[in-house]
Amino acid sequence: MQVLQGLAILLTLQSAGEALSRLLHLPYPGPVIGMVLLLVALRWPAVQQRVQTVASFLLSHLSLLFVPVGVGVITQLGLVAEHGLQLLLVIVASTWIGLAVTALVLHRLMRHAPPAGGSE
Amino acid sequence: MTDFVQLWVYLSSTPLFGLNATLVVYVLALAFYTRMQQAPWANPVLWSMVVLGAGLWATGTAYPTYFAGAQFIHFLLGPAVVALAWPLWERRAALRAHWGRFTVAAVVGGTAAAGSAVGLAWALGLPTEVVLSLAPKSVTAPVAMGIADKVGGIASLAAVFAVLTGLVGALSGKALFALLGIGQDATGWMARGFALGTAAHGIGSARALQVHPDAGAWAALALGLQVVVASLLIPLVAGWF
């Protein structure tokens, strides 16, 4: 029951996000606005209890959800044949740059941080 | 024999086929990944893509036919993005104490990932719509599609780039962090997890979660932050050009 209620909350907030995005012509995708709305709604214990189970379930199987889109690479074989090597280079290099910069910046910043409120 | 062919033609054209194939292949790929002691190269998303893609190609099944069933799994990405509020909420104490540091890391790291992708792609002479589809590649696929749509890229291409980016992060993160001298202490797990969530979204976060629960939690937090940061900044920056 809690899972169903949780899913209902997630879908309602996603719909609200989509509606706000269209009505106010916001540049943010509906689910992102839904996420911010949920962050506000989580102040209420009733929402917390209902969302916890379904959120943990969805997020622990997040990688499965990428498979259908990932298989879509077969629809881009023309592009891959033409620019495959450049694309591979761009994707690999930019991912490494992103990972390295983020990790080094946060690592450096946290070394000078007061320990209180850090990792649990 | 003709009965069998007819049965195959029928089954492969119903949505059941795409949904069933995706779930079964992923469950098998996950079992293989566990048996390989979660070696990065055995990544379940990578092998599911390879097996399903090869299967569609070998049987001459069109992608839209497959997606008619697989969309039921794909659809859950939307509520999953909304659900990202949960890890943010769970870590609200740390978020409140270090919000400035997290924001700096998310903005600098996200900009480095998107900027280097666009810059390199442009320098290599890739077509404009491909360059624009590369900009949101470190954000989780459904959001990447939304952003690409708004800045003039191709949504389906952006989703594929996002998935490939996540795979690169999941496959090579461990070696890269070791090379950078980021350790396996509390701060090290925070930096590793946060970086995977920022630059390699959901697939990187899934990997972080499997390696260490702390790294997974920080990755989920970074993923949620990056969704907000990228949706804010990429359309804004793209508007200047």
CA nearest to A13 within chain B: B82
**Residue B198 CA from chain centroid, whole number:** 11
pLDDT recorded at residue B1: 62
The answer to whether the beta carbons of residues A101 and B112 sit under 8 Å apart is: yes
Whether residue A31 is predicted with pLDDT greater than 90 in this model: the reply is no
Distance CA B142, CA B211 (A): 25
Distance CA A87, CA B132 (A): 13
Cβ-based contacts of A114 with chain B (< 8 Å): 97
Average pLDDT, chain B: 89
Pick A119 or B222 by higher pLDDT.
Answer: B222
**pLDDT band, very low/low/confident/very high, at B241 (cuts 50, 70, 90):** low
Cβ-based contacts of B160 with chain A (< 8 Å): 69-70, 72-73, 76
Least CB–CB distance from B200: residue in A17, A64, A99: A99
Distance CA B34, CA B109 (A): 31
Number of Cβ atoms within 10 Å of the Cβ of A49:
12
Distance CA B222, CA B169 (A): 14
The domain limits of chain A are: 1-65, 66-120
User: Is A105 within 8 Å of chain B by CB?
Assistant: yes
pLDDT recorded at residue A11: 96
For residues B108-116, give the mean pLDDT.
Answer: 93
pTM: 0.85
- Tens-place pLDDT, residues B81-95: 899 889 888 888 888
CB-based contacts of B166, cutoff 8 Å, min separation 6 = A66, B45, B200, B201, B202, B203, B204
pLDDT recorded at residue A101: 96
Token pair belonging to B150 = 């708004």
- Tens-place pLDDT, residues B45-60: 999 999 999 999 998 8
The domain limits of chain B are: 2-75, 80-240
The answer to whether the beta carbons of residues A51 and A10 sit under 8 Å apart is: yes
Interface test with A, best of B66, B81, B130 (most A CBs within 10 A): B81
- Tens-place pLDDT, residues A66-119: 899 989 888 888 888 888 899 999 999 999 999 999 999 999 998 877 654 444
CB contact under 8 A, B182 and A48: no
pLDDT recorded at residue B189: 92
Distance CA B236, CA B43 (A): 35
**pLDDT band, very low/low/confident/very high, at A26 (cuts 50, 70, 90):** confident
Distance CA B67, CA A32 (A): 24
Q: From residue B89, how far is each of A40, B42, B93, B169 by CA, in Å?
A: 9, 32, 9, 25
pLDDT recorded at residue B48: 96
**How near does any CA of chain B get to the CA of A32, in Å?**
7
Distance CA B11, CA B167 (A): 31
Whether residue A52 is predicted with pLDDT greater than 70 in this model: the reply is yes
pLDDT recorded at residue A119: 45
Helices and strands counted in chain B (H then E): 12, 0
pLDDT recorded at residue A120: 40
For residues B205-222, give the mean pLDDT.
Answer: 87
ipTM exceeding cut-off 0.85 for this assembly: yes
Whether residue B209 is predicted with pLDDT greater than 80 in this model: the reply is yes
